[in-house]
């Protein structure tokens, strides 16, 4: 062994130091890279949605204007389809565009199935409402029973569906007589009140097996109560986001008290009717929806799932309140569009004359044979988008969507208007064109119809969708078969609207004439 070799063997520090330094540097770099990856991954998942500057106390409330859905569309162009605003004390995530909304409400349906813990939501039916109640096992059982019951009243060729169709057609016939009388006394009139009454009567007949005279005091009080509810619901929303408004006298606090009182009065009205049904209940006979809910909730699956008997009143209240407002609003828009586009009205009448003829009234079975009428209704829903933003959602747990982290209990607004007026999805969405819903062979394009977003989607999709669509169809078909609608010269209705529970057209005036050769027949049993 040479001296050099002996020296290195006995004191190898030189070689060890030479190899240690690169190893330490390499290990350090590895650790830095790992830390960087972990930081990027964790912070990437917790990246909050962007949004506009938030002012103290009010946040972005003053920026929204009277039609917030249009403001949301403008904000989406700047910040993307997911952005965040602040209203009062609450952070709000706003979802726009079909792909983003579908990812949230369908792909992540459970995560977005909650409702905010709003004061106003707890007031409505004591927080047990299907529409406004929180997401839970009890809520799921409640919704399942309500949905299956409603579906039985809208499924073609069932006894309950024929009963519902009978109610709608009967009411349409009475509505025609009222329209013709108003046209003869005062040639032009605003149809909105009569649409409210007709829709309320259909829902009352569905829920209680009874329709009312238009002059019935109890019925007029119920309709008026629902109208006032729409006028005061905004006060409940303001208190939800700015609870300090309840602390001192102000106009919002007064309206909020009215909102609370109206909820109590409306629930008491329903409770009285349901109590009468319990006293005459026969499990062998389903007279109406109250009977159906008593059967399912008190004597069927609901009792097993833990639903108490007051859920009958809660369910009927949901259907009565929501059904009256949305269906009356839809009918008001339908009539407005008929007078605004008389050439479309004539084309619809020609289709009805060809398929149904003059010797009987339209029925649910005619729906599949009247594709242009169906297309007209879908285009009305898309074009008006009269439910532009859904009832607020809330996240049930932390969730990541489109790369943005949204924590549990975040309030979420879903902008349906952005879907129905998306220029990348619809050709000239600002134009009213029913033909966009027809295939080349003239049949209904079901894919296009499915793309219209008015009833939301996912776990919070409206359970009354099928019933509502059937009612819209039957009202429109009967009215057009029997009547023609005319705008007042030089007062052509506009699409201007006001926001309450839904987008409602501003008052407009029409006249109605009976069509020659048409005569309203008796409603088939």
Q: Helix or strand or coil: residue 84?
A: strand
pLDDT of the residue at 166: 87
Does the structure show a pLDDT above 70 at 23? no
Q: Report the CATH number that the domain containing residue 254 is assigned in CATH.
A: 1.10.630.10
Does the structure show a pLDDT above 80 at 28? no
Determine which of 43-57, 114-128, 217-231, 495-509 has the lowest per-residue pLDDT on average: 217-231
Q: Give dist(CA 378, CA 448) in Å, integer.
A: 9
Does the structure show a pLDDT above 80 at 36? no
> Please, which residues have CB within 8 angstroms of residue 206's CB and are 6 or more apart in sequence?
153, 164, 167, 288, 289, 319, 323, 467
More reliable by pLDDT, 64 or 445: 445
More reliable by pLDDT, 222 or 347: 347
- pLDDT mean across residues, the chain: 86
Please check whether residue 216 lies inside any domain of the structure.
Answer: yes
Please check whether residue 80 lies inside any domain of the structure.
Answer: yes
Most confident of 32-46, 231-245, 251-265, 308-322: 308-322
pLDDT of the residue at 9: 37
Model confidence at 493, pLDDT cuts 50, 70, 90, reads confident
Does the structure show a pLDDT above 90 at 357? yes
Q: Give dist(CA 442, CA 358) in Å, integer.
A: 23
- Which residue's structure tokens are 């949901």? 318
Widest pairwise Cα distance in the chain = 128
Please check whether residue 18 lies inside any domain of the structure.
Answer: no
Percent above pLDDT 70 for the chain: 87
Please check whether residue 48 lies inside any domain of the structure.
Answer: no
Instruction: Produce one character per residue of 465-476: b if its CB has 16 or more CB atoms within 10 Å, e if not.
Output: bbbbbbbbbbbb
pLDDT of the residue at 521: 52
Does the structure show a pLDDT above 90 at 446? yes
Beta bridge partners of 222: none
pLDDT of the residue at 224: 79
Does the structure show a pLDDT above 60 at 451? yes
The DSSP bridge pattern shows strands 510-514 and 399-401 to be: unpaired
Does the structure show a pLDDT above 80 at 386? yes
Number of separate domains in the chain: 1
Please check whether residue 30 lies inside any domain of the structure.
Answer: no
Does the structure show a pLDDT above 80 at 236? no
Determine which of 79-88, 126-135, 149-158, 349-358 has the lowest per-residue pLDDT on average: 149-158
Q: Give dist(CA 134, CA 38) in Å, integer.
A: 35
Read off the pLDDT of residues 2-21 as tens digits, 9 standing for 90 and up: 444 434 334 444 554 455 45
- The annotated binding site for heme is made up of 462
Please check whether residue 24 lies inside any domain of the structure.
Answer: no
Instruction: Tell me the average pLDDT across 212-230.
Output: 78
pLDDT of the residue at 3: 43
Instruction: Tell me the average pLDDT across 327-351.
Output: 97
Does the structure show a pLDDT above 60 at 44? no
- Which residue's structure tokens are 């938030």? 54
pLDDT of the residue at 31: 53
Find the DSSP H helices in 80-211.
98-102, 119-123, 137-152, 159-185, 192-208
Model confidence at 216, pLDDT cuts 50, 70, 90, reads confident
Instruction: Tell me the average pLDDT across 46-74.
Output: 91
Structural domain range at position 108: 61-514
Long-range contacts of 17-25 (CB under 8 A, 24+ apart): none
Does the structure show a pLDDT above 70 at 468? yes
Q: Give dist(CA 391, CA 456) in Å, integer.
A: 9
Determine which of 301-310, 342-351, 409-418, 443-452 has the lowest per-residue pLDDT on average: 301-310
Of 421, 430, 442, residue with least CA distance to 347: 442
Q: Helix or strand or coil: residue 455?
A: coil
Read off the pLDDT of residues 130-181 as tens digits, 9 standing for 90 and up: 999 999 999 999 999 999 888 887 776 667 778 888 889 999 999 999 999 9
pLDDT of the residue at 217: 81
Q: Give dist(CA 349, CA 337) in Å, integer.
A: 14
Please check whether residue 280 lies inside any domain of the structure.
Answer: yes
Determine which of 78-82, 322-326, 404-408 has the lowest per-residue pLDDT on average: 322-326
pLDDT of the residue at 1: 45
**What is the phi/psi pair of residue 404, to 5°?**
-105, 135
Please check whether residue 15 lies inside any domain of the structure.
Answer: no
**What is the phi/psi pair of residue 190, to 5°?**
-85, 120
pLDDT of the residue at 240: 78
Q: Where are the beta strands (DSSP E) in 315-462?
A: 393-394, 399-401, 404-406, 411-414
pLDDT of the residue at 271: 93
- The annotated binding site is made up of 462
Whole-Å CA distances, 216 to 197, 201, 316, 391: 11, 11, 21, 32
Read off the pLDDT of residues 253-301 as tens digits, 9 standing for 90 and up: 787 788 888 888 888 989 999 999 999 999 898 888 999 999 999 988 7
Q: Helix or strand or coil: residue 393?
A: strand
């Amino acid at each position: 062994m040479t001296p050099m070799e002996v020296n290195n063997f006995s004191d190898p520090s030189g070689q060890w130091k030479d190899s240690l330094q690169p190893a330490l540097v390499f290990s350090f770099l590895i650790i830095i890279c790992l830390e960087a990856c972990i930081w990027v991954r964790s912070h990437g998942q917790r990246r909050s949605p962007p949004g506009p500057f938030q002012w103290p106390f009010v946040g972005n409330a003053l920026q929204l204007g009277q039609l917030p859905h249009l403001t949301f569309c403008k904000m989406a162009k700047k910040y993307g389809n997911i952005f965040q605003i602040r209203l009062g004390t609450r952070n709000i995530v706003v979802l726009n565009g079909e792909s983003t909304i579908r990812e949230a409400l369908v792909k992540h349906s459970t995560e977005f199935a909650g409702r905010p813990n709003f004061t106003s939501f707890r007031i409505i039916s004591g927080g047990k409402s299907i529409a406004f109640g929180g997401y839970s096992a009890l809520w799921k059982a409640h919704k399942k029973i309500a949905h299956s019951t409603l579906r039985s009243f809208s499924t073609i060729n069932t006894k309950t569906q024929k009963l519902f169709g009978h109610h709608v057609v009967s009411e349409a016939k009475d509505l025609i007589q009222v329209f013709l009388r108003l046209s003869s006394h005062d040639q032009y009139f605003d149809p909105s009140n009569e649409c409210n009454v007709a829709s309320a009567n259909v829902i009352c007949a569905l829920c209680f097996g009874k329709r009312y005279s238009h002059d019935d005091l109890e019925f007029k009080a119920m309709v008026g109560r629902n109208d006032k509810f729409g006028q005061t619901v905004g006060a409940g929303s303001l208190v939800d986001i700015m609870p300090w408004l309840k602390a001192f006298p102000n106009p919002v606090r007064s309206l909020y008290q009215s909102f609370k009182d109206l909820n109590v009065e409306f629930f008491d009205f329903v409770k009285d009717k349901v109590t009468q049904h319990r006293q005459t209940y026969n499990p062998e006979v389903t007279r109406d929806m109250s009977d159906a809910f008593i059967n399912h909730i008190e004597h069927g699956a609901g009792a097993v799932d833990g639903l108490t008997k007051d859920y009958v009143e809660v369910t009927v209240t949901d259907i009565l309140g929501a059904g009256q407002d949305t269906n009356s609003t839809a009918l008001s828009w339908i009539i407005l569009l008929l007078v605004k586009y008389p050439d479309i009205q004539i084309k619809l009448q020609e289709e009805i004359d060809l398929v149904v003829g003059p010797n009987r009234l339209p029925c649910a079975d005619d729906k599949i044979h009247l594709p242009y009428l169906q297309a007209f209704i879908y285009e009305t829903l898309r074009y008006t988008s009269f439910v532009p933003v859904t009832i607020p959602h809330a996240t049930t747990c932390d969730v990541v969507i489109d790369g943005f982290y949204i924590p549990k209990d975040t309030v979420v607004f879903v902008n349906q208007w952005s879907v129905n007026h998306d220029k990348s999805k619809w050709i000239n969405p600002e134009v009213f064109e029913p033909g966009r819903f027809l295939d080349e062979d003239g049949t209904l394009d079901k894919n296009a119809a499915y793309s219209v977003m008015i009833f939301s989607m996912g776990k919070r999709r409206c359970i009354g969708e099928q019933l509502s669509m059937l009612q819209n169809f039957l009202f429109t078909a009967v009215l057009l078969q029997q009547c023609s609608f005319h705008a007042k010269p030089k007062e052509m209705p506009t699409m201007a609207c006001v926001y309450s529970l839904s987008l409602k057209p501003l008052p407009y005036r029409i006249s109605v004439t009976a069509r020659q050769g048409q005569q309203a027949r008796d409603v088939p049993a």
